[in-house]
Structure 1
Amino acid sequence: MPASCKWLLYLALLTSGTAARAANIRVTDVAAFRTAVPRLQPGDTLVLAAGPWADAPLVFSGHGTAARPIVLRAERPGVVQLRGQSSLRLAGEYLVVMGLDFRNGYAPKGGVIEFRDGSNGLANHCRVTECVIDNFNRPSSDKDDKWIHFYGQYNRFDHNYIAGKKTGGVTIVVELPTPESRENHHQIDHNFFGPRPRLGSNGGETIRIGLGETSLSPSRTVVEDNYFYHCNGETEIISIKSGENMVRRNLFEECEGSVVLRHGNNNVVEGNYFLGHGKEQTGGVRVINAGHRVAGNYFADLTGHDFRGALVIMNGIPNSPLNRYAPVRDVLIENNTFVNCESVELAAGKSAELSLPPTGVTLKDNVFYSPRLSNPFHVYDDISGLAFSNNSLQISGKGPDIKGLDAAVLTVQKSADGLLVPTPKGALKTTLRRPLTAAEAGPRWFRPEDAKAAPRTGRVVPAANTEALHQNCQMAKPGDIIELTQAGPYALAQPLVVAVPLTVRAKKGVQPVLAATGAQPLFRFENGGTLRLQNLALDGAAAGATSLIQPSGQAMLDHYSLWANNCAFYNLKDPGSQVFRATTATFADTVQFANCRFYDLAGGALSLATETQDLGTYNAEVVILRNCLFRNVRGTALDLYRGGKDESTFGPFLIVDHCTFDNVGTAAGSPVLKLTGVQRSTIQNCLFANCAPVGPAIQYTELGKASNLLASTNFYQSGKVEAKFPPRTARLTYLPTAFVAPQRFDYRLKTPVAALTAGTDGRPVGYLTPQ
């Protein structure tokens, strides 16, 4: 059945029984809408005329009845387009809103949709259905911008599509500020929650129910039969901060986070499916507080660790304040199935503060099937308060010695929709089936674009001179490739603005030079921009140049990414300069340099250290330095910063592999690598020679929960490794090194030493000169 026919059928079913003596009123603009609303009676329908509705702050108020609600609907769904500075407020009783489409705009104050009209009243027994909110973001990502606010009682939000939230703030929040909004029995069901990118700070939840201050109050909100896809804002996808809520029959697919029972008691998480498909950082359920039940859930191919494990049972704080970690007690975890999940965390978070192990926790009739893992269970404290009964475990190793967690050979079947179902021998054949599919969630009239579609490949556009290069950047379409056809130099007094996914590369056989002639960077990111650089040289010879690449100096809504391959960066004269410098209120998904050379720099090389409010924010999620050379860099090669104790984000992630640092960090007190609050780092197969004579070669500053590995690395006439919580180490050496021809960038070892001949991948350690 076509989508338009489904919509008409749905509309007829929804409004049946309201036609008797009911008016059908069509309005064409905001003024007519405001005139019509006060006159609406039970059973009436207010129809928004097809077409764009720009800058439309709609307040829909009235008092319908259960049998005769007042309806606000689009004349044709998808054609009534709320654009610009638009929003919707509901106040009254038994109101229904249908078919609105919020795109290409933002709500300047408050939420996009609120179940209240300020001080004019709350909404009760109201419903918003078959609507779309997609990329309806305020211009700046650093502002708190919650999209849907629940107040009142017995309100429903169903069959909607919500995606593309890039600003700070929860997507949906259930507020409990006064008794009129508690014990609310709200219902959030059959929605399609589409991609939400990593926020890089707290406040990226998709749904939050309550707050710490009201967490001891019951909310009784039901979140059921929703589809969550790539909801990656932060570690909490659904954050429960109140009591007696129900999260059931939802499907979480490739979401980097968990359902978190953060505050409040007596909540139920039941019948949900968490499908990670091996995607990094995918999680399940995290348990805090008391009286919960986690039952009948299915967890498969989840890779998250620590707080993002498939199942996490936390330690608590004695006499915890409402906004911290109350002890886990009297929790039932039963009949759950875990298939190929990497991590089950027990008594997680143990520290001097989180010192109380869980008590009164029963785990029974659960199945843990990870035949490729030696042991997915991680135990951090006393777990005598956990009682295991009739749990089945099949792994490749011995596993934990826990009575009631019994080694077994499981029978593995496939469900009707292809899911692996391990069961103990003799169990009845399973009828397991995921709760719903993407096609069954969201509006009947709307389907999102295929998020897995191949990225666009654009034109190859030649640029023979500076003028053509500037023009091509200004006119670029997503996916375009600008190919530099001459050696140059391409002298740039103004930055090349990158506002779409763009590649700038050398024509084969040419080695172009881009030279700064003023204080401006060579490249500047703006919203929508990602950049790939290939086979280029960037020369910072101008006396006033302080960076070669940087994001906008203004807050950016969109994330950006930077990949550079086989490029050279050199000649910055200013002691405060950097090749790449991140800026405040901008966020990179990835910053990667591979096969690159950084040399003759009076300042540093890479600085991602502007988010110094110590609120858990940072400049880039993933930073990768692979097979790079840093030579004659007076400052720090990499300064990567994340401050504060916030547990809602798990970045940044750092890889430094096969890099050589020669005469780096020679300015007083400059580390070669300065890592502050980095959550996971791997530094391996590297050489440090004549580096950091005063400062440390590597400086780790973190709070003890990070996972850092330093392996197969040699330090010669270089500073020490400085860390309050030392990284895991393997094969660190301190042997003399000399290179074949540094002046020609040939950094092969001149007199190889046996201990330095092979790294973790079997290749020589250090920078491998591209052939």
Structure 2
Amino acid sequence: MPTSSKWFLSLALLASSSVAHAANIRVTDLAAYRAAVPRLQPGDTLVLAAGNWTDTPLVFSGKGTAAKPIVLKAERPGAVQLRGQSSLRLVGEYLVVIGLDFRNGYAPQGGIIEFRDGSNGLAYHCRVTECVLDNFNRPSSNKDDKWIHFYGQYNRFDHNYIAGKKTSGVTVVVELPTPESRENHHQIDHNYFGPRPRLGSNGGETMRIGLGETSLSASRTVVEDNYFYHCNGETEIISVKSGENVVRRNLFDECEGSVVLRHGNNNLVEGNYFLGNGKEQTGGVRVINAGQRVRGNYFADLTGRDFRGALVIMNGIPNSPLNRYAQVRDALIENNVFVNCANVELAAGKSAELSLPPTGVVLKNNIFYSPKLPNPFHVYDDISGLTFSNNALQISGKGPDIKGLDAAVLTVQKSADGLLVPTPKGAPKTTLHRPLTAAEAGPGWFRPTSTSATPRVGRIVPAATADDLQRLCKAAKPGDVIELTKTSSYALAQPLVVTVPLTVRAKAGLATRPVLTAKGAQPLFLMENGGWLRLKGLAFDGAAATTAGLIQSSAQPILDHYGLWAENCAFYNLKGADSQVFHATTATFADTVQFANCQFHDLGGSALSLATETQNLGTYNAEVVILRNCLFRNVQGVVLDLYRGGKDESTFGPFLTVDHCTFDNVGNTAGPVLKLTGVQHSTIQNCLFANSATAGPAIQYTELGKAINTLSNSNFYQSGKVEAKFPPRTAKLTYLPTAFVAPQQLDYRLKSPVPALPTATDGRPVGYLAQQ
């Protein structure tokens, strides 16, 4: 068993560690590499020749010493490009890996990097530094795929760039399955954790330390001086599930989520910066379990609420199993600064199950500065177990009546880094250590480039026939715009497969919309990996539509998020009871689905179905769904079926907005009009429901966990009621007769005299306003 002394060498020491008898061995292929590894001695350096190494599983084994590590490095940093099905396994002692580049591939089994080689042994005192892991994803997003696995003890992962993880599974995981991997003293430092998009299910953490089953064991992992940018996979950025870990001096830049002390005791969160910049769902620290310390952190412009607040102290479960919520006990929260943070949640999560308020918690010498907010504190249960001492509070309202949380006038200065630093009047100036910059994290040889999901506009190309449209779509480059130049029918023999950001629109000035229809039972558009589709000014005749829908996501699991926007389009003439305008399939995830200024009429089936993720694990089909200024007439089925099953709190969505829509003769055969299952945030406003869902609910809410639902400024006439176990927040709902000018001609202006309907939230009439 190796000794437990700490060993972290700098790159400068590594460069000088070789001695006269050390070998410097250069290999050019996997066979030569495998032949060289068994002969390596302490102090040797194995050099991988520059170039592409495709389908290269590297097992790096050996026993170096603290003074003479064995080194595996690229011939030049970044010049060894591991592609295809490649991976790295370290097994042994005092091994160092430098400068590898993992892109355009995936590890078929296990992680990309593991500090072990299966049953052949673990790694001790080993280091991986100056490497890049970028978009190294398995082909399917729903397969669990953890990238970096820590086992053994005293291993270090530093100055690496890790970004673009789109699959389910934690990016970096510290495993504690056996005593040989506990009390491990691993160090994770100076890494640049780049963007991780929302996963749409549990398992999207950037880092997890431990597991519920082993959470009462100490890990003693140190996570320090890392830069986290747009790590948005789920609500837990770092999920601590073990004891005696340290999370310090990291910077979290616009990350949707929190550092969560999920399981395990006696952890320290110290000196970190949480900068939300007003971005939605940005959070800070969530406290659970016993003996946690949160001190000297800086929180600014965070908007997250509930479990994603700037500071969240949870309620617990009596006799909680290891994988649930132990009571918060004996926590210390001190010397933290909160600037313009929207929410501080105390005794959060209170329910019949989470019934134990926190106890023995001390909050002292903290500063809460939110001068434009009336009160960021939300108290959900008894907080007599919390002791407040010498905390300063400046807000616009009265604030909570808590002794030791005292109203104060704060002096505010701007630091050299541009951060607001408030200090109580008369007290010594608050001092903070300098925050880490992005330039100080990651490999010295690599800097990430700025990317956008929606590229600049590319070519604008005309399509006069269906054959033109098929050919141009197949050859499209990112950002291309295909303009339909004829008002005649475009009858498509095959689906238009979308694999890049693409716009298909009517040429300006046409008298009527170009009409897309299918020659056979098939979708018109099929969303595949890389597809972002914008439709404008088109008509869709569904006479030959399949049950899969006029537009649908891939029939196979896809890795990348897709997006769909339709504006000023018409969808009609769907005959089958199972037919749909849009159908989201399993194991596909939309960043946004939006229909604006659109008309849906004479549909035998449903309009929009996003309800295929029915395994009830918190997974769903789309993050944001928007219906704005749309008309739905003579739709026999559901207008929108949006489903998120299960009570998992690790994900944020879906987010639904229905605004200025009119529903006439909708859902009378297979209602309701809007079927919302487990939707986390919904706003339905400024709508008219007429002659719809007469045999059932017009809106059916099925809440499976915490949800924020708002229904306002809408009228229901000869329509079903609202069905909900936990009614939404409502305002200005009416039930008045409505009549329209010429429904058969889709003229949905209200007949005079206009009934006393509520005014819309934007001051205009409620309901569909025709084309805007």
Please give the TM-score of this superposition, normalised by the length of structure 1.
0.97
Q: Does the 8 Å contact 2:672/2:699 carry over to 1?
A: yes
Q: In structure 1, what is the Cα distance between the partners aligned to 2:70 and 2:488?
A: 69
Question: Equivalent residue for 2:251?
Answer: 251
Give the aligned partner of residue 723 of structure 1.
724
Match runs of 1:3-82 below 5 Å: 12-82=12-82
CA contact (8 A) 1:273 1:434 kept: no
**1:119 alignment partner, SS class:** helix
Gaps of 5+ in 1: 1-8
Stretch deviating more after TM superposition (537-546 or 589-598): 537-546
Looking at structure 2, the residues matched to 427 and 462 of structure 1 have their Cα atoms a distance apart, in angstroms, of: 69
In the aligned structure 2, how far is the partner of 1:544 from the partner of 1:323? 44
Aligned to 2:6: none
Q: C-alpha displacement at 1:263, in angstroms?
A: 0.2
Matched-pair contact (CA < 8 Å) for 2:234–2:650: yes
The Cα offsets for residues 183-226 of structure 1, whole Å up to 9 and x where unpaired, read as 00000000000000000011000000000000000000000000
Matched position secondary structure for 1:505: strand
Q: Deviation per CA, 1:405-439, whole angstroms, max 9, x where unpaired?
A: 11111111000010011110123334435421111
Residue 79 of structure 1 and its aligned partner are, at CA, apart by: 1.5
Q: 1:757 to 1:720 in 2, by over 3 A?
A: closer
CA contact (8 A) 2:645 2:704 kept: no
Question: Following the alignment from structure 1 to structure 2, what is the Cα–Cα distance between the partners of residues 119 and 635?
Answer: 55
Give the direction of change, closer, same or farther, for the CA distance of 1:48–1:419 in structure 2 (3 Å limit). same
Is the 8 Å Cα contact of residues 83 and 104 (structure 2) preserved in structure 1? Answer: yes
How far, CA to CA, are the matches of 1:387 and 1:205 in structure 2? 32
Matched residue SS, 1:755? coil
Tell me which stretches of 4 or more aligned residues in structure 1 moved more than 6 Å. none
Query: In the alignment, what sits opposite 1:687?
Result: 688
The 5 A counterparts of 1:232-631 are 232-451=232-451, 455-510=455-510, 511-542=513-544, 544=546, 546-631=548-633
Shift in Å, 1:754:
5.5
Aligned partners of 1:284 and 1:311 also within 8 Å: yes
Contact 1:266 1:290 in 2 (8 A): yes
CA distance in 1, matches of 2:219, 2:302: 30
Q: Do the aligned residues in 2 keep the contact of 1:757 with 1:763 (CA within 8 Å)? A: no
3-state DSSP of counterpart to 2:31? helix
Instruction: Give CA-to-partner distance per residue, 1:638-662, whole Å, 9 cap, x none.
Output: 0000001111112101000111000
- Whole-Å Cα distance in 1 between the matches of residues 155 and 468 of structure 2? 57
- Residue 266 to residue 205, structure 1, CA distance change in 2 (3 Å): same
Question: SS in structure 1 opposite 2:473?
Answer: helix
CA distance in 2, matches of 1:29, 1:16: 27
Q: 1:10: how far off?
A: 7.8
For residues 305-362 of structure 1, the C-alpha deviation after alignment (integer angstroms, 9 at most, x for no partner) is 1111000000000000000000001000001111111111110001110000000000
- Going from structure 1 to structure 2, the CA distance change for 1:311 and 1:539 (only over 3 Å counts) comes to same
Question: For residue 169 of structure 1, what is the aligned residue in structure 2?
Answer: 169
Aligned partner of 1:652 among 642, 651, 654: 654
Q: Please report how far the alpha carbon of residue 538 of structure 1 lies from its aligned counterpart in structure 2 after TM superposition.
A: 1.0
Q: Is the 8 A contact 1:546 1:572 kept in 2?
A: no
Listed one character per residue, the Cα deviations across residues 666-720 of structure 1 (whole Å, up to 9, x for unaligned) are: 114x100000000110101000000001121000001351110010110000001
Deviations 1:477-505 (A, max 9, x none): 11111111111211012110000011111
Decide whether the 8 Å contact of 2:69 with 2:96 is kept in 1. Answer: yes
The alpha carbon displacement at 1:12 in A equals: 4.8
AA partner of residue 500 (structure 1): V
Letter in 1 for 2:129: T
> CA–CA distance in 2 between the matches of 1:739 and 1:718?
16
- Contact 1:313-1:347 at 8 Å conserved across structures: yes
Query: For 1:433 and 1:15, how far apart are their aligned partners in 2?
Result: 31
Query: Within 2, Cα distance between the matches of 1:209 and 1:160?
Result: 18
Q: What does residue 6 of structure 1 align with?
A: none
Code of the residue aligned with 1:765 in structure 2: it is V
Task: Work out the CA distance in 2 between the residues paired with 1:518 and 1:149.
Answer: 49
- CA distance in structure 2 between the aligned counterparts of 1:255 and 1:427, rounded to whole angstroms: 32
Tell whether the 8 Å contact from 1:87 to 1:111 is kept in structure 2 after alignment: yes
SS at match of 2:374: coil
Are the aligned partners of 2:715 and 2:733 in contact in 1 as well (CA < 8 Å)?
yes
Partner SS, residue 318 of structure 1: coil
User: Matched residues, percent identical?
Assistant: 83
The alignment partner of 1:406 has SS state of strand
Deviation at 1:48, TM superposition (A): 0.1
1:47 and 1:75 in contact (8 A); partners too: yes
- Say whether residues 1:671 and 2:672 are aligned partners: yes
Q: Distance in 2 between matches of 1:230 and 1:752?
A: 52
Alignment of 1:91-110 (within 5 A): 91-110=91-110
Between stretches 64-73 and 492-501, larger displacement belongs to 492-501
Q: How many residues align?
A: 762
Residues 547, 580 of structure 2: 8 Å contact kept: no
CA distance in structure 2 between the aligned counterparts of 1:412 and 1:196, rounded to whole angstroms:
34
CA distance in 2, matches of 1:212, 1:265: 12
Letter in 2 for 1:604: S
1:742-766 CA distance string (max 9 Å, x none): 2232212113546315111111100
Give the SS at the match of 1:589.
Answer: strand
Q: Do 1:546 and 1:574's aligned partners in 2 also have CA atoms closer than 8 Å?
A: no
Deviation at 1:628, TM superposition (A): 0.6
C-alpha distance 488-79 of structure 1, shift in aligned 2 (>3 A): farther
CA displacement at 1:612 relative to structure 2: 0.3
Tell me the distance in 2 between the aligned counterparts of 1:740 and 1:382. 57
Q: 5+ residue gaps in structure 2?
A: 1-8
Q: Which amino acid aligns with 1:444?
A: G
Distance verdict in 2 for CA 1:246–1:73, change over 3 Å = same
1:737 aligns to 2:738 (yes or no) = yes
Structure 1 residues 275-310: Cα deviation after superposition (integer angstroms, max 9, x where no partner): 001111100000000101000000001111111100
Partner Cα separation in structure 1 for residue 262 and residue 713 of structure 2: 40
1:704–1:725 Cα contact (<8 Å) kept: no
Separation of aligned partners in 1, 2:192 and 2:747:
54
State the shift of 1:21 in Å: 1.3
CA 1:178/1:704 → structure 2, altered by over 3 Å: closer, same or farther? closer
| Partner Cα distance (1:434, 1:121) in 2 | 41
One-letter amino acid of the counterpart of residue 657, structure 1: D
**Cα distance in structure 2, aligned partners of 1:715 and 1:540:** 29
Secondary structure in structure 1 of the residue aligned to 2:290 = coil
1:708-719 to structure 2, matched below 5 A, reads 708-719=709-720
> Post-superposition shift, 1:450?
1.9
When the two structures are superposed, what TM-score results if normalisation uses the length of structure 2? 0.97
Structure 2 counterpart of 1:258, which letter?
A: S
CA gap 1:544/1:326 in 2 versus in 1, 3 angstroms: closer
Amino acid in structure 1 at the alignment position of 2:304: G
Q: Distance in 1 between matches of 2:482 and 2:694?
A: 42
Out of 632, 635, 638, the position equivalent to 1:636 is 638
Contact conserved, 2:673 with 2:698, CA < 8 A, in 1? yes
Q: 1:740 deviation in Å?
A: 1.7
Q: In the alignment, is residue 220 of structure 1 matched against residue 199 of structure 2?
A: no
Task: Flag the 1:453–1:528 CA change in 2: closer, same or farther, 3 A.
Answer: closer
Structure 1 residues 418 and 695: CA distance shift in structure 2, 3 A: same
Q: CA separation of 1:10/1:219 partners in 2, compared to 1, >3 Å: closer, same or farther?
A: closer
One-letter code aligned to 1:548 = L
Note the 1:687-706 alignment, pairs <5 A. Answer: 687-706=688-707
CA distance in 2, matches of 1:407, 1:544: 64
Contact 2:596 2:628 in 1 (8 A): yes
